[in-house]
Amino acid sequence: MNFSDMKTIFCAIFGGLIVFSSLGFYSVSMAEEWGFYAHRKLNRLAVFTLPPEMMPLFKKEIESLSTHAVDPDRRRYATPFEGPRHYIDLDVYGEFPYDNLPREWNKALAKFSSVKILDRCSGAEVPDTHLIYFPYIHFDEEVQNKNKAYGEFDSLLAMNYQEFFNPRVPCDFYRPPWKYPLSDWPEKKSVFGCPGEDCCEILITDHISKYGIITYYLPMIQRHLTRAMRNGDKARILRHAADIGHYIGDAHVPLHTTVNYNGQLTGQTGIHAFWESRIPELFAEDFDLIVGKAEYIEDKEEFFWDVVLYTHQKVDSVLAIEQRLRDSFPEDAQMCFEDRLQQTIQQPCREFALAYEREMNGMVERQMRKTIYAIGSSWYTAWVDAGEPDLGEPVVTDQSHQLESDSLRRVYQRGGIYGREQVNE
């Protein structure tokens, strides 16, 4: 058995999805066509919330918006920067509503990055390293007993750290540590006692990305969409609209807001795909997903934070109800074998899934309704903020979106995800 086979098995089991056939185990990437069902449906239905003036582009390109709704998940196989954009583990930061987590990216990244000084003044090959600040992350220290906080962030702020940091903030994530000459930060020298500016460097290491950044990424991509609208760049409008629809979808899934994202910490591994893939696939055709008109979003940052915080408040119910049901439902009626795409797979039975959605008082349906409204409102708001441009002719001729999407599909089918192994997110 080679590495790829091993990974396949790991992915399949981790996702609560066990795939058998006469040929053995198959890659989860073969399961994509039904795992992405909900994202495609949400983007499609969001089109019908829009005003008539937007329809010449959005209605005409509804297939494109729906098809490309899954591109961001495939992108997770192409770049390590993509994964953290799909989630945020809010509970690693302590207690709801997580006021210690700054709502602005610059501030959050500064606060949850460590700061060291590298002193090369002695001429030795290995520099002396002085730890100046190491962030406190509740989960790391209390649960994992891994890191120890060091230093006060406030004392860095008193030395104009934020002003030093802001112009250097990277737009992407999971980079190696960033290094800057100490001379870039005028307030520091005497404090850190480094003998010379020329032989000392500041080393900054990100500790936030691994816990996800969706709340920070959503406003960013909203700005990209608005800019594309303003420029009348229809290919980019469609790309960003399809993308943000995906991320807004993820932001409405409670398990995208917790460190226990697949129930792996509570013995409920596989609940992720159960909630967000299995239930929509079984029942979404019967859901009431007509949600009325899109509305203008005044404060984008606040809107997206509110969405995620609201979603996060459902995490306890999602986990507790599934556990209660697992304990009370007849054991042999919980998991069923089904033939799909010439494979036999085991997944939650229809009746079991129905009981779960009922016990949650229709949570998946309600969250899908909220998602459709939010996607439509995001698209509509970008259009208004861009000055309500004419979205009629000429048609889109730029094929770059399709080309990118095709290459993402190939990368995805090859496998090898960056970051978390997770089925169908």
Residues found near Zn ion in the complex (CB under 5 A): 73, 86, 250, 425
Closest CB to Zn ion among 250 and 281? 250
Q: How far apart are CA 208 and CA 223, in angstroms?
A: 22
Tell me the C-alpha to C-alpha distance, in Å, between residue 306 and each of 297, 299, 312: 12, 11, 10
Q: How far apart are CA 135 and CA 153, in angstroms?
A: 8
Closest CB to Zn ion among 39 and 314? 39
Closest separation between CB of residue 96 and Zn ion, Å?
23
Q: How far apart are CA 120 and CA 199, in angstroms?
A: 5
Closest CB to Zn ion among 113 and 378? 378
Closest CB to Zn ion among 86 and 369? 86
Packing angle, helices 300-312 and 234-251, rounded to 10: 30
Closest CB to Zn ion among 250 and 385? 250
Closest CB to Zn ion among 140 and 250? 250
Closest separation between CB of residue 425 and Zn ion, Å?
5
Quick check: 43 and 66 in contact, CB under 8 A? yes
Question: 355: Cβ–Cβ under 8 A, 6 or more apart, which residues?
Answer: 325, 329
Instruction: For residue 131, give the 3-state DSSP assignment.
Output: strand
Closest CB to Zn ion among 204 and 417? 417
Closest separation between CB of residue 43 and Zn ion, Å?
13
Q: How far apart are CA 11 and CA 27, in angstroms?
A: 8
Q: Which residue is nearest to Zn ion (CB)?
A: 86
Closest CB to Zn ion among 127 and 219? 219
Buried b (16+ CB within 10 A) or exposed e, 126-136: ebeeeebbbbb
Closest separation between CB of residue 392 and Zn ion, Å?
32
Q: How far apart are CA 383 and CA 56, in angstroms?
A: 13
Closest CB to Zn ion among 248 and 349? 248
Closest separation between CB of residue 363 and Zn ion, Å?
19
Closest separation between CB of residue 42 and Zn ion, Å?
12
Closest separation between CB of residue 106 and Zn ion, Å?
24
Give all strands (DSSP E) within 28-182, no chain letters.
Answer: 113-119, 128-133, 178-181
**What does the block give as tokens for 173?**
């994530």
Closest CA to 138 of 208, 204, 215: 208
State phi, psi for 313 to the nearest 5 degrees.
Answer: -65, -10
Q: Around Cβ 418, how many Cβ atoms within 10 Å?
A: 15
Q: CA dihedral defined by 60, 65, 68, 73, rounded to 10 degrees? A: 180
CA angle 14, 15, 21 (to 5 degrees): 95
Closest CB to Zn ion among 86 and 240? 86
Closest separation between CB of residue 86 and Zn ion, Å?
4
Closest separation between CB of residue 247 and Zn ion, Å?
7
Residue 90, strand partner residues: none
Rounded to a whole number, what is the largest CA-CA distance in the chain?
72
Closest separation between CB of residue 73 and Zn ion, Å?
5
